[in-house]
């Protein structure tokens, strides 16, 4: 049976909504620790436990070696055609800025916003806003073709892992896995904390992860095909083939895999999904996905329970058709 995951967030953080989501067939929930700690999320986790019972699975998504902008007091709107100054108009680490060169594309918030660098410096650079939008705190940053060498685990990650047993964490999602060493390092940390049974979910989000997939598979309990940043690393028209390739390598190795990102993105604002979205879910399960997950659809969208209803029903339809083929 394919497992169904939602993401905890303000939109679903009430007992009634969470109970409805679990009653519809949701397996568990992801908590994004790029924006809060386990301790800060204690109330939401408690509500999840009350709604889903002991069988509800909690996945924590670490910060890991993911590049993000820094914390901001208020969002900033970047308008098409304006000149923005990363590092001044919004916070970016100087270590990242010094690696960016004139002409580099800078993708923010999973590619929703696109800048093009115009010169570089150690503390800030100028950039043309090619595709603008509202930018808020701690959103992702990617520069296609560049890899920023960051440690596998941040200090915040280590502090959260120390709390994992207390909150009944089932699995740890490590973003931007680059090599087997990242997973070996995480496994070692879990053993040092006497947490050997926590499952490791390796998120494939860049070209390094795709290229090293055969090396990663033996070190992970489950592979996560995370299409948000993969869609920044590759042209979007290449992304379906990348997903198919990763699915096939996991199937051939007998390793479970999860498909995530924008599965029902339109339902953040609509009570009904698009035909393309339900086809996407169906095909992910047909390709052998052991689990599927939604993110902003339940964390911040208007219809979190309806999202799970469509996700569960589509998954079950594929399973029924396959059983009765």
Greatest Cα pair distance, the chain, in angstroms, is 61
Catalytic residue among 2, 30, 139, 187: 30
Catalytic residue among 17, 261, 295, 314: 261
Q: Is 298 a catalytic residue?
A: no
Give the alpha-carbon dihedral of 266, 272, 274, 275, to 10 degrees: 160
Catalytic residue among 139, 178, 187, 203: 203
Q: Is 68 a catalytic residue?
A: yes
Q: Residue 4 forms beta bridges with which residues?
A: 292
- Residue 135 DSSP SS3: strand
Q: Is 199 a catalytic residue?
A: no
**In the chain, where do the E strands start and end?**
3-7, 28-32, 57-61, 76-78, 83-84, 105-108, 113-118, 126-131, 133-135, 141-142, 169-174, 199-204, 222-226, 257-260, 291-293
- Rg value, the chain, Cα: 19
Catalytic residue among 68, 178, 227, 309: 68
Up-side HSE of residue 298: CA atoms within 13 Å toward CB? 33
Q: Is 154 a catalytic residue?
A: no
Give the residue numbers marked as catalytic.
30, 68, 203, 261
């Amino acid at each position: 049976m394919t497992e169904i995951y939602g993401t905890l967030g303000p939109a679903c953080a009430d007992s009634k909504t969470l109970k409805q989501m679990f009653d519809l067939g949701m397996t568990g929930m992801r908590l994004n620790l790029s924006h809060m700690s386990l301790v800060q999320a204690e109330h939401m986790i408690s509500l999840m436990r009350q709604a889903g019972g002991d069988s509800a699975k909690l996945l924590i998504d670490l910060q890991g070696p993911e590049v993000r902008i820094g914390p901001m007091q208020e969002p900033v709107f970047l308008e098409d055609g304006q000149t923005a100054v990363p590092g001044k108009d919004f916070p970016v680490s100087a270590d990242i800025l010094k690696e960016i060169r004139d002409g580099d594309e800078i993708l923010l918030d999973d590619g929703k916003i696109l800048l093009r660098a115009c010169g570089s410096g150690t503390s800030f650079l100028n950039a043309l806003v090619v595709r603008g939008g509202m930018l808020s705190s701690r959103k992702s940053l990617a520069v296609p073709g560049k890899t920023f060498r960051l440690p596998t685990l941040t200090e915040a990650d280590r502090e959260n892992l120390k709390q994992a047993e207390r909150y009944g964490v089932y699995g740890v999602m490590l973003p931007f896995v680059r090599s087997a060493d990242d997973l070996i390092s995480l496994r070692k940390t879990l053993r040092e904390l006497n947490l050997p049974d926590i499952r490791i979910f390796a998120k494939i989000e860049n070209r390094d992860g795709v290229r090293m997939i055969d090396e990663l598979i033996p070190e992970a309990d489950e592979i996560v095909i995370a299409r948000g940043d993969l869609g920044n690393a590759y042209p979007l028209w290449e992304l379906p083939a990348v997903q198919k390739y990763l699915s096939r390598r996991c199937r051939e190795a007998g390793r479970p895999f999860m498909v995530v990102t924008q599965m029902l993105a339109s339902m953040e604002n609509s009570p009904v999904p698009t035909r393309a979205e339900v086809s996407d879910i169906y095909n992910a399960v047909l390709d052998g996905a052991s689990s599927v997950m939604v993110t902003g659809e339940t964390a911040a969208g208007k219809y979190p329970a309806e999202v799970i209803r469509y996700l569960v029903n589509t998954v079950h339809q594929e399973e029924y058709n396959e059983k009765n083929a």
